Amino acid sequence: MADTFDTDVAIVGLGPVGTTAANLADSFGLTAVAFDRATDVEPRPRAVGFDQEAMRVFGNLGLADAIAPHTMPYRPSEYRNHNGQVIKRIDTAPPPHPLGWAPNYVFLQPELEKALRQRLTHSDRVDVHLGTTVTNVEVDDSGATVEAVDEAGRRRRVRTRYLLACDGGSSPIRARAGLPMRDLEFDEPWLVVDVLLHPGAGGALPRTNVQYCETARPSTFVVGPGSLRRWELMINKGEDPEEMAEPHVVRELLSRWLEPGDYDLWRASAYRFHALVLKQWRAGRLFFLGDAAHMTPPFLAQGMCQGIRDASNLMWKLAAHRYSGAGGPLLDTYQEEREPHVLRVTATAKEYGRIICERDDVAAASRDARLLAELAARPGGTIRQSLIPGLQAGFLTSHGSPARGEILPQPRVTDSDGKSGLLDAFAGNAFRLVLSEDADIAATESALREHEAEGGFPIQLLPLHQSVGPVPRGAYREEVPVLTPWLQGHSCEAALARPDHYVFGGVQHVGTSLSRLLADARRQYRTRSIRSGG
């Protein structure tokens, strides 16, 4: 007897990762049922930063205008020692920005979550249940069964093809499944404080973000959007975390920077900054995302970004498996791709955390000397996005392919009708083949016809045209060249990008290599072998 399903996807937890996953389910044509214990978004901020990859996701969901009043570009970071001397800088690359958005942003998390949830109210595919607690989940070979109860005591039972646990760092679903986390050996107590400046106050505060690398109490200062300012202060040995969060203690700590009458205290919470990664991200049709799968120290503002990447990586694969003939092994590439990425970003965050958190005066002096020498050799400092890697394994063509595992740039373009916009607005959620102007269009179209005849997945062709004169039908002119120099830098005539914008692979010559690249993509899409790496 055939299994009967109520929905394609059930999502447990509607924080920023769960709501993003629900919105992506809608955009990829999946039906979804989503549960959250709370009846409204958490009113206090938690995450304060996200990057260009996350903004690209939010922009493609049509939320750029809604969240614009609550975001602003992330300011450079200065690392200062106990003498106030700058020992390290992290900055952003100058325009043109490769993904079409500023490299990093600060934001108000409650407002972002409201915008994500508001978008779901317009969806016919996503059914949201707030004030509802998931009491049990059972996973089997073909799907999962979710049992939940709302605040009025009404019980609900949902049969789903795929189950997404987005239920946070304490993840009851992960606990019930008995899945262990790998400890990456970072566990430090910190106090996080958010204040709203009164009009005219804060003039003496730093104009940029600062890491106070002081052995007495390492601290972080972040310039948030509008009047929001954040401090993260390390809790010293012997200090009680709950007492440290008391308003009178917080005001004493902040007196170094502000008078008590200069601000309203929005929140003060004690946290342990962890580095943990789940050993098994998938159990049959159950997948873990966000803090349920990994926790990253906040020193690169990548915690929430990691979860947004999880959702972006997984949702197109679920849609491909459900509706487009993708083989089951494609779903295994979720952990294969995301885990190494998370591990590398977490390792970098730990490295920067250790710079900030050094408590020994002698070791701190040695650190200062080393970083000052590095800064003298490279006065511009480190470009923040250079710290974020691409993909190394998974649904990618063989090693040696140009641009393999990188993120496809997104220029602002104009089409043949004179319409202007970011490239993703013209490409939708499809696989896309970006073609340089000097590539053989006839050979490209022949390879795409062969791909279609062999039962290949749909591909959107995006030819670039930078020459003087009208833009040919179906082609795009970059308003500021970003993608063309990127292709030239990789000696690429064409690059095949996935729906999550990562490049499956590129080819130097369309006529000799494109058919082979597309054949590899078809094979992996249908019956990918993890063991062989392809």
pLDDT in tens, 484-516: 999 999 999 999 999 999 999 999 999 999 999
- pLDDT value of position 383: 94
Take residue 27 and report the two structure tokens written for it.
């955009």
Residue 399: pLDDT band (50, 70, 90) is confident
pLDDT, mean over the chain: 95
pLDDT score of 266 more than 50? yes
- pLDDT value of position 187: 87
- pLDDT value of position 1: 55
| Across 443-463, average pLDDT | 97
| Across 215-229, average pLDDT | 97
| Across 100-128, average pLDDT | 97
Residue 3: pLDDT band (50, 70, 90) is confident
Nearest to residue 317, comparing CAs of 450, 431, 177, 461? 431
Q: Is the dihedral of CA 236, 239, 241, 245 positive or negative?
A: negative
Give the model confidence (pLDDT) of 237-247 as tens digits: 999 999 999 99
209 φ/ψ angles, rounded to the nearest 5 degrees: -75, 145
d(CA 345, CA 351): 10
Take residue 162 and report the two structure tokens written for it.
């795929």
d(CA 364, CA 370): 10
Strands 228-234 and 181-197: antiparallel
Q: Which residue has the tokens 């089951």?
A: 328
DSSP 276-291: EEES-SEETTEEE-GG
What domains does the chain contain, in order, with CATH numbers?
7-72+100-179+276-369 (3.50.50.60), 182-274 (3.30.9.10), 412-527 (3.40.30.120)
DSSP 133-179: EEEEEEE-SS-EEEEEEETT--EEEEEEEEEEE---TT-HHHHHHTP
The answer to whether residues 150 and 129 touch, using CB atoms and an 8 Å cutoff, is yes
d(CA 284, CA 163): 9
Bridge partner list, 458:
none
Angle at 313 between CA 97 and CA 335, to 5 degrees: 125
- pLDDT value of position 249: 98
pLDDT score of 529 more than 50? no
455-467 as b/e, with b when 16 or more CB fall inside 10 Å? ebbebebbbbbee
- pLDDT value of position 532: 31
Strand residues in 347-427 grouped as ranges (E): 382-383, 412-415, 420-422
- pLDDT value of position 533: 33
| Across 416-427, average pLDDT | 96
The proportion of the chain whose per-residue pLDDT surpasses 90, expressed as a percent, equals 93
pLDDT score of 135 more than 80? yes
pLDDT score of 528 more than 60? no
pLDDT score of 428 more than 90? no
| Across 169-184, average pLDDT | 96
pLDDT score of 527 more than 90? no
d(CA 493, CA 503): 14
Distance, CA of 534 to chain centre: 25
The proportion of the chain whose per-residue pLDDT surpasses 70, expressed as a percent, equals 98
